Amino acid sequence: MRNIFTAAITRALHRLGAVMLFSATLAVSTAGVHAAETKPLVEAAWLNSHLRDANLVVLDIRSAIDGGGAKAYEAAHIPGSVHSDYDKAGWRVTRSGVPFMVPTAPELEKLVGDLGIDEDSQVVVVPAGVNVLDFGSAARTYWTLKVAGVKNVSILDGGIAAWTQGGYATERGAKTPAPKIFTAALDKSIWAQAPEVEKLQASGGATLVDARPDSFFLGHEKAPASQAYGHIPGALSLDSAEFYDPKTNRLKPVAELEKIASQVPAGPAVTYCNTGHWAATDWFVLHEVLGRKEARLYAGSMVEWTSNGSRPVESSRTKWDDLKKKLGIGS
């Protein structure tokens, strides 16, 4: 009898071990699938099939930049999504008199945590999907989340426009997120700051990529917050609009992106613009889509660069440009 009892216990333990092994294997497998699915760009169909995922946060960032904002969100948004106005919520802050800067770690912890996002969240950033400037809002938000230490981030390809065009359901009203405790772990591998950009400009070591339209690069116009016309000396001009297809309101196909990006020499690159908005698109294409992991974003860009008069600026601005400004027909 004792032998029978012992054998029964042994069989039960074997079954329990098998179940535990299966469960562990399933957990690892599921985690692997989840990690594999975290792509820089996700389609509306993918998002629709994952809306009930436990750790998913759908982040609607519509603002005045795209002609939307809180009212547009409340009128129609992806079910369960939360809203954070890219232009007003604190994704870019004024520090030492310089606007559009990256928030501090404590500011990021509050901004991100209050949205119900923590280190384990998978975030899908949802722009309006109306133009390249709007995509820049998504790219800058995506980059900021990555800098803050959120690992799993994607952008909804085509934005809310693609969602509605796909015939997927929307809801009205507003959702108040349940805040989470988020601890920022700043990832400086994708972030170039002013002192380092000064060294790179003076001594080389990386390609500086200006993501603005030619008129800004050449100095024919400037952003109101910039203190000087022109570009950082030695920079290469690569307008972020070159990467974007206005007919589809999406980035161009990868083969075309690769061809355009071939203008940027292999190796380290630092993208910049006026405020780190257009430049976020160049960084997103280079680093996230094309896998050029030595690309970084100088978020302060020309507004910060020109706040210090000792930093060099190169310009092709002419007296005719100055005259047009006086006449009120130029910048």
pLDDT of residue 8: 42
Helix (H, G, I), strand (E, B) or coil at 209: strand
* Structural domain includes residue 67: yes
Give the predicted TM-score (pTM) of the model.
0.88
Give the H/E segment covering residue 296. Answer: strand 295-297
Same domain, 130 and 230: no
Distances (CA, A) of 54 to 32, 80, 93, 121, 122: 16, 12, 31, 9, 9
Q: What is the 3-state secondary structure (H, E, C) of 225-275?
A: CCCCCCECCCCEECCHHHHEECCCCEECCHHHHHHHHCCCCCCCEEEECCC
User: What are the residues whose beta carbons fall under 8 Å from the beta carbon of 18, sequence distance 6 or more?
Assistant: none
Q: How far apart are the first and last CA of the chain?
A: 97
Residue by residue, DSSP assigns 65-116 as: GGT-SHHHHHHSB-TT-EE--TTTSSSSEEETTEEEEPPPHHHHHHHHHTTT
Same domain, 33 and 44: no
Tens of each residue's pLDDT in the chain, 331 residues: 444 434 443 444 344 343 333 333 333 333 333 444 589 999 999 999 999 999 999 999 999 999 999 999 999 999 999 999 999 999 999 999 999 999 999 999 999 999 999 999 999 999 999 999 999 999 999 999 999 999 999 999 999 999 999 999 999 999 999 999 999 999 999 999 999 999 999 999 999 999 999 999 999 999 999 999 999 999 999 999 999 999 999 999 999 999 999 999 999 999 999 999 999 999 999 999 999 999 999 999 999 999 999 999 999 987 667 656 666 777 7
The domain spanning residue 77 has which CATH number?
3.40.250.10
Answer with the one of 158, 186, 214 that is the final residue of a domain. Answer: 186
Given a contact cutoff of 8 angstroms between Cβ atoms, the answer to whether 160 and 62 are in contact is yes
* Structural domain includes residue 209: yes
Given a contact cutoff of 8 angstroms between Cβ atoms, the answer to whether 140 and 91 are in contact is yes
Same domain, 202 and 148: no
* Structural domain includes residue 331: no
What tokens does 66 get?
């795209």
Same domain, 142 and 281: no
pLDDT of residue 331: 74
Given a contact cutoff of 8 angstroms between Cβ atoms, the answer to whether 47 and 156 are in contact is yes
Same domain, 261 and 313: yes
Given a contact cutoff of 8 angstroms between Cβ atoms, the answer to whether 90 and 103 are in contact is yes
Query: What angle in degrees, to the nearest 10, is found between the helix axes of 105-113 and 132-148?
Result: 110
Same domain, 108 and 140: yes
Same domain, 276 and 252: yes
Q: In what order do the strands lie in the sheet with 207-210?
A: 236-237, 207-210, 269-272, 295-297
Helix (H, G, I), strand (E, B) or coil at 196: helix
* Structural domain includes residue 253: yes
Domain enclosing residue 23, as ranges:
1-37
Helix (H, G, I), strand (E, B) or coil at 289: helix
* Structural domain includes residue 30: yes
Same domain, 258 and 141: no
Same domain, 54 and 182: yes
* Structural domain includes residue 233: yes
Same domain, 48 and 131: yes
DSSP state of 188: G
Given a contact cutoff of 8 angstroms between Cβ atoms, the answer to whether 28 and 35 are in contact is no
What tokens does 285 get?
């294409």
Same domain, 46 and 142: yes
Query: Structural domain tally of the chain?
Result: 3
* Structural domain includes residue 8: yes
Answer with the one of 138, 165, 186 that is the final residue of a domain. Answer: 186
Answer with the one of 138, 155, 186 that is the final residue of a domain. Answer: 186
Same domain, 66 and 173: yes
What tokens does 258 get?
């690769």
Angle at the Cα of 123 from the Cα atoms of 120 and 126, rounded to 5 degrees: 170
